Structure formats: C-alpha cells, structure tokens
Structure 1
Amino acid sequence: MNTPAIAVITVTYSPGEHLDAFLDSLEQASTRPTLCVLADNGSTDGAPERAAAARENVHFVPTGGNIGYGAGMNAGAAWLKGQDFNIAPDFFIIANPDVVFDPGSIDELIECAQRWPEAAAVGPYIRQDDGSAYPSARALPNIRNGIGHAMLGTIWPSNPFTQAYRDGNRMDQERIAGWLSGSCLLLRWDAFERIGGFDERYFMYMEDVDLGDRLARAGYDNVFCPQAQITHAVGHAASKTPESMLPAHHESAYRYQADRHPHLWQLPLRVLLRVGLQLRAKLAVIRARRK
C-alpha cells in the first residue's frame, strides 16, 4: 500500500524565486511523500503555474483573486478535501512560500505532535535570513501587553510588555505557547475543521494569533517544537508595499481585540483602540517611507 502523502498548503501571490526554493526543500523535509497545493491569490509572475506544470506533486489552485491569507488557506484545504488523493488523515502543513524547510523538519513536527496528543498546532524554530531566531511562539496579546508592545516596541525593544508578548527567551524548549507563527505550522485536520479553519475576516496578519486562541479555547494545545527548523524571509512581502501592509496589520490588531471585548460597556475601550491603532499605522507608514 502506498504511504499517504503529507499535504502542504501554501498561499501564493507572485512569490517569484522563493517558490522553487520552498518546493525543493520539501523533498528532504520528510521521509514521507508530500503533496503541495498552491492556493493562488492572483499571481501575475507565472511562478505558481510553472511550478505546478513542472512538478508532479504540486497543484495550482486559483482562489479567484486576492482573498487574503486565511481565506486562501481555507480554500486550499477545502479543495484538498474534495479530491481523491491519498493524503495523511491526521496532519497537514501550512506554510508561506518564502519558507525553506530543513531536512527532516516535517518529520520532527509530526513526531512532536505525537508526543503531545492534545496539540492541534505545532510550530518549528524559525531562523531569519541573518540566522537569528524569530520569536514565533508567543503569548496571546491582551490589552496590557498589546498596548505596551505597540507603544514601546520600536523605541525600547527590551521593554517588559514586549518581552512578555514575544515570550522569546525560551526558544530552545519544547513547550506550549499562546500562539504560533502561521508562516509554518503542522495542524490536525480534525481540530482545524472543528473550529472552522481561519477566520476569513482577517485579510492579512493576526489570523494566526486568532487561530491559536480559538484552538486553545476549544481545548487544544499550541506546541513549539525547536527540533524542527526552517528558514523564513520574514517581512519581505510587507517591506515592498508598506502603505497597504502596515494599515492591514493594525486593522487586524483592532479586530482581534474588538472581538474579545464585544460588550457595550467596553465601547470606550474599542474606540480608544481604533483611534490609537489608526494613528500608529500612519506613523509606521511614515517611518517606513523614510527608510
């Protein structure tokens, strides 16, 4: 009997040269076969189509336009479920197309998930281009650490609010985290489907935070697995179009907190958050233009 393939879903939007490196690295990331879905959000560079035409285990699935990251992942997952592929029934991988997997990294994620039977999401250690660790396993943002991080993170990176939020001093320990970076995750199919996948109201950013929170509220764990390692070109897409990406980030931050403070008596807090985040977004765009 053929070994079921590990399904890998990535959302593409003119990924350029990153995509081939991503797909090449999949060949050594697991001893099991992999099957990759390119949920394409309207690429214009032709890279996803070329990759699918050249590789037997890669499938190009247009989503109909730039529908956002979470909606793209949901579309890729739904397409997979409608096919007759021999894929592993327990786990699948979601990843950005600018990720490069270390050899054996997907196998490490699977082994970690098997050690943590309550884990619905397992995330790897993420190296940035300069070799440093990206703080990918963080505490869930609350009003206190969220506002403190937003106000002080860029001018005082070591402030206690940012340190509490990033939870970045334990990047060598296998542990439960509040949430894990959506740039690369192993997910349990049944848990993902139980909570309805990604919340598609998030166009970009914070959808992974929301996913981790909703998985935890449903009784699952988010587990950081440093034995599994990848490299990620963190922020390369956002740096190209800060005028759209930075406001989207702040809009998602507002949505996350507003959803968790929905009551009428919390209206003044939501107004304060809305005004404060809009102002911070404008300042962030100005800073980005000066660089």
Structure 2
Amino acid sequence: MVSVIFVNFWTSKHIKKLLEKLKNENFEIIVWNNSKEDEILEDSIKIINSSYNIGFGPAVNRAVKLANFNYILLINPDCKFDVKVIYELYNFLRNNEKVFAVSPKIISNNKIWPSARRITNPFLLFFGRRSIFRFSKLSKKFLYLDKNDKIVEVEGLVGTFLMFKKDIFLKLGGFDEKFFFYAEDLDLSLRALKSGYKLFLLNYLVVEHDVGITRKIKNSFAEFKRAKSLFLFMIKNYFIFKLLSPFLLVGFLYYTLILMIRELFNFKIKDIDFANHFQ
C-alpha cells in the first residue's frame, strides 16, 4: 500500500511519537538515520544507520529503493496529522494515473505554511516566504495563496508531507544529490512537469508542521545548506540565472554573512501570517 519514510537528524523523539501513531496501520515504515548518536531502535520497521549525515535527498533516494510499495510518503518528523490524511492522499494518487505527487495544506501555529510553489517563472523565486520581498502580492502568487480551491494543480511541492509514486520517482532519477537538503523537492517537481506529470495540492486535507526542529538544533549549518541549495537550484534550472551566476554567488555569500550575524545576535526574521496578510 504505502511506504512511509522518515529521515532522522536529531529528531528521534519526534519520530518515535509518529511511529506510535502509525503502529496499527498497514504501512511499511522506513527510517534512515543520519545522526549516528541519535539512532532509533525498533524491531518492527526498517532502519538504516548511516555512518555520517549524507543529507536529506540522498537519504530519501536510498530509502525509496528499499521500499516495497509504489506509493511513498515522506513525513517531516515535526508534523502532526490525522492518519486519514494518508489514506486520502493514497486514494487520490491511485485514481489519477498522470499525477506524480500530492500534498495536503500545511499549517504552523494556526497559520498557513504554504506547501506549493510556482516555479516555471524564475523571477517569482525572489518572492518566497523568507525573501525581503515577502510582503509583496507576488508572494501570494508564488506560494499559491491566490488559489482557494479544494484541489489545486501546482508546479512545485515541498517535501514536508509529500506522497509520490516510486516508479515515476526512479524514472525521473530521484532527488538530485547535489542538494544536501532544501530545493531538492522543487528541482524534482520541475523535472516531473517537463516529463508531462502533474502535481496537486489538496487544500481540504490539513497537516500541522512544527517548523524547523532541525534548524533549531543546527541552525547555522542548516541555513547555510539551505542558501547553497537555492543557489544551485537557480543556476541549474534557469538559463538566465546561469548567466548571472557570478552575481548570484555574491548574493549567496552576502546572505551567508547575514545568517552568521543573525545567529550571533539571535535575531529572528518576522514571518507572514499567510492566512490574513493578503486579504
């Protein structure tokens, strides 16, 4: 039926809670341990212990190859959900042949946490959730906040709570392992679109996300990798950004410096209340 994959990086206590929730369901559970000193020990599930942190995308690629089912669900350890959401995602995928991946609506602290992106227009990438332009109405467009339908066909999905078909995932080559973590999901989405597959956001299903548990633990490391992955995503997939790569590199280095200053002074970026800001 469904193979559920967790990637553990200092999040074992959160994964154990979710394992308890799923223990009576007929799902295959696979845990890839990326943190050697925070391993999970369970007899009833598949556990792969990595000798070092190989990254999120590479871990998922290896775990998917071990899965026995064609329907794969990636769950961030910091998610809370009703199990019926999994069955709804599964039924939607199973009944739509050309659909590669599907995701529910994500909320955090009772606020919408957008889980879809418009990625065919490269310039909308500058209007993301943490961009200095995030209060622009173009952010609403980039994050699909202009669509209130229950079912929305989208260009890109993030991997917070993502179900996809294994056979298509492998056909597409899986996650590009140049991305340590972050942007690997958007890169895969773009390849799926170019291959003629569809992606959907199901707004009638809701999952709660306690955002950034890993980033809270290893903040500077995580933010640096995030910025690097976004830079790689842009120059890999858009010719205009490849031409502008020296300027983007300067921006990347500047952003990294800002992250270091933020960490030093414990400064936090103000997030948008997406549910109300654009009304």
Q: Same fold (TM over 0.5)?
A: yes
Shorter-chain TM-score bucket reads: 0.7 to 0.9
Alignment match of 2:117 (pick from 127, 138, 141): 138
The aligned residue for residue 64 of structure 1 is: 51
2:7–2:34 CA contact under 8 A, matched in 1: yes
Alpha-carbon distance, 1:172 to partner:
4.9
How do 1:203-222 residues align onto structure 2 when only pairs under 5 Å count?
A: 203-222=180-199
What is the letter of the counterpart of residue 229 of structure 1? V
Q: Distance in 1 between matches of 2:30 and 2:48?
A: 7
Matches of 1:91 and 1:106, distance apart in 2: 10
Q: What is the number of equivalent residue pairs in this alignment?
A: 266
Query: CA separation of 1:225/1:275 partners in 2, compared to 1, >3 Å: closer, same or farther?
Result: same
Pick aligned residue for 2:21 from 22, 25, 30: 25
Distance 1:239 1:250, change over 3 A: same
**Displacement of 1:215 after TM fit?**
1.0
The separation in 1 between residues aligned to 2:192 and 2:122, in whole angstroms, is: 20
- Match of residue 73, structure 1, among 60, 63, 83: 60
Q: Find the aligned partners of 2:59 and 2:136 in 1 and give their Cα distance.
A: 35
Give aligned-pair identity as a percent.
Answer: 23
Partner of 1:84: none
| Pair 1:147 & 2:134 matched | no
Q: Which runs of 5+ in 2 are unaligned?
A: 268-279
d(CA) in 1 for partners of 2:128 and 2:206? 27
Q: Is the aligned partner of 1:95 residue 2:75?
A: yes
Q: Is the 8 A contact 2:99 2:199 kept in 1?
A: yes
Q: Which residue of 1 aligns with 2:150?
A: 173
1:239 aligns with 2:216: yes
**Secondary structure of residue in 1 paired with 2:36:** coil
Judge which range, 183-192 or 235-244, deviates more. 235-244
Q: Is the 8 A contact 2:104 2:161 kept in 1?
A: yes
Distance 2:229 2:120 in 1: 12
Unaligned runs of 5+ in 1: 81-86
In the alignment, which residue of structure 2 is the partner of 1:275?
Answer: 250
TM-score (norm 1): 0.83
Residue identity in the other structure for 1:36 = I
Larger mean CA deviation between 162-171 and 272-281 belongs to 162-171
On the 8 A contact 2:128/2:143 being kept in 1, the answer is no
For residues 103-136 of structure 1, what are the alpha-carbon distances to aligned partners after superposition, in whole Å with 9 as ceiling and x for unaligned?
A: 31111101222343211001112221x1222100
**Could you tell me whether the CA contact under 8 Å between 1:261 and 1:270 is conserved in 2?**
no
